Amino acid sequence: MFIINCPYCGERDQSEFTAGGEAHIERPKQPTELSDDEWAEFLFMRKNIKGVQFERWNHAHGCRKWFNVVRDTTNDKIHAVYKMGEKPPID
């Protein structure tokens, strides 16, 4: 049970949030022009990193806003939190 610093509400318990998987996977603007392989790349392929991972979280039982989190999956340490559309503050 970690604590997430929601960019809109501040620090809240993890139980208020839901996880939304890997961040920065943009839905293709013109899906019809993609091959099966290209579409499958978007649809199915996720990195599932052991270590520092960029991921999406939703403050489901709060402001309902989606945002991004940089989290170390080995120890749940959160390195950064930033809004949708913003550039990651760290590489």
Q: Which residues bind other proteins (CB under 8 A)?
A: 1-3, 18, 20, 26-28, 30-32, 34, 36, 39-40, 43, 56, 58, 60, 64-66, 75-77, 84-85
- Residue closer to other proteins by CB (options 49, 78) is 78
Min. distance of Cβ 44 from other proteins in angstroms? 8
Q: How far is the CB of 31 from other proteins (least distance, A)?
A: 4
Minimal CA–CA distance to 3: which of 69, 88, 54? Answer: 69
CB of 81 to other proteins, least distance (A): 14
* Length of the chain in terms of residues written: 91
The secondary structure of the chain in percent helix, strand, coil, rounded to multiples of 5, reads 15, 35, 45
Minimum distance, C-beta of residue 76 to other proteins, in the bound complex (Å): 4
Q: In Å, how far are 19, 23, 36, 57 from 66, measured between CA atoms?
A: 10, 11, 29, 6
Q: Which is nearer to other proteins, 18 or 89 (CB)?
A: 18
